[in-house]
Amino acid sequence: MPRYKIIIEYDGTPFAGWQIQANGPSVQGELARAIEALSGVHMVPRGAGRTDAGVHARGQVAHFDLGRAYPAKTMCDALNFHLRPAPIAILDCEIVDESFDARFSAKARHYLYRIVNRRARLALDRDRAWQVVVPLDAAAMNEAARHLIGRHDFTTFRSSQCQGKSPLRTLDRLDVARDGEDIFIAASARSFLHHQVRSMAGSLKLVGEGKWRPEDMRRALEACDRAACGPVAPACGLYFMKVDYGESA
């Protein structure tokens, strides 16, 4: 039975999230519908990560098995056809070894959070970024981000609804950079806690405003208390960018 690995781009705005759920359409559900339209088999793909409602993806990865073998290009084109008009695109498809698992084979996940720092309302980027009208100091935000890199107890930056067994995570990268009116927060780790990136982004925004000093980020982390976190940044600015696997995947 062939196993297919797909790379997916989607606009998360109309979805209740990646995972199939009762309260609205999901990316996973749309993919399952497209697979069934092609093959006649109901097959729910397994994703590398569960994105929340409104979160976007440029490189989400999923896998699924089918009894019939299709050429990878045929699978890619057919899924894109059946996914219309949903704002989901299959960027690539390949047949992989049955040991590959989109979630458990992942070595690193990469997210990008985008802030547009300007007073004029967003026209083209509405629902694609967090607009902050107060001037932000991206250099101070980047200095603050240094305090979170490494292996820590991230309870402060963890949703109260998080189902992770442990708050311990190793954050490999957290960089803040400005490009004109855009401020990008890039985060990389093997795995993240629920709302971790958005929680960190919301706290970094307080540093950018001057309400927190860069070293206050360390104090918030060491508090291991959700109450020490800044407001959680909105979902619209978050992008699931890429997943790294071993050479065989």
Residue 101 forms part of a structural domain: no
Angle, nearest 10°, between helix axes 216-223 and 196-209? 150
Residue 102 forms part of a structural domain: no
Q: Cα–Cα distance between 236 and 126 in angstroms, integer?
A: 8
Q: Per the structure, how many domains does the chain have? A: 2
- 26 and 114 fall within a common domain: no
- 89 and 129 fall within a common domain: no
Whether pLDDT at 163 is above 90? no
Residue where the block lists tokens 């490009």? 179
- 43 and 140 fall within a common domain: no
Average pLDDT of every residue of the chain: 96
pLDDT at 246: 78
Whether pLDDT at 248 is above 90? no
Over the stretch 64-99, which tens digit does the pLDDT of each residue have?
Answer: 999 989 999 999 999 999 999 999 999 999 999 999
- 123 and 180 fall within a common domain: yes
- Which of helix, strand or coil describes residue 146? helix
- 126 and 201 fall within a common domain: yes
Residue 130 forms part of a structural domain: yes
Question: Can you tell me the mean pLDDT for 129-137?
Answer: 98
Domain endpoint, select from 42, 64, 96 = 96
pLDDT at 247: 62
Q: How far apart are the first and last CA of the chain?
A: 17
Residue 249 forms part of a structural domain: no
**Cis-peptide into 85, omega within 30 deg:** yes
Indicate if 52 belongs to the active site.
Answer: yes
- 48 and 161 fall within a common domain: no
- 194 and 217 fall within a common domain: yes
pLDDT at 39: 95
- 21 and 122 fall within a common domain: no
Q: Cα–Cα distance between 60 and 82 in angstroms, integer?
A: 18
Residue 215 forms part of a structural domain: yes
pLDDT at 161: 83
> What is the pLDDT confidence band of residue 38, given thresholds at 50, 70 and 90?
very high
Residue 237 forms part of a structural domain: yes
Residue 202 forms part of a structural domain: yes
- 236 and 149 fall within a common domain: yes
- 115 and 238 fall within a common domain: yes
pLDDT at 106: 97
Q: Cα–Cα distance between 136 and 207 in angstroms, integer?
A: 8
- 75 and 136 fall within a common domain: no
- 78 and 117 fall within a common domain: no
Domain endpoint, select from 38, 71, 96 = 96
CATH code of the domain covering residue 229: 3.30.70.660
CATH code of the domain covering residue 68: 3.30.70.580
Q: Which ranges in 192-243 belong to alpha helices (H)? A: 196-209, 216-223
pLDDT at 160: 85
Spot the catalytic one: 52, 77, 137, 172: 52
Q: Cα–Cα distance between 41 and 44 in angstroms, integer?
A: 10
Structural domain range at position 33: 3-96
Domain endpoint, select from 96, 125, 156 = 96
Over the stretch 195-217, which tens digit does the pLDDT of each residue have?
Answer: 999 999 999 999 999 999 999 99
Residue 103 forms part of a structural domain: no
Question: Can you tell me the mean pLDDT for 131-135?
Answer: 98
Sequence letter at residue 85? P
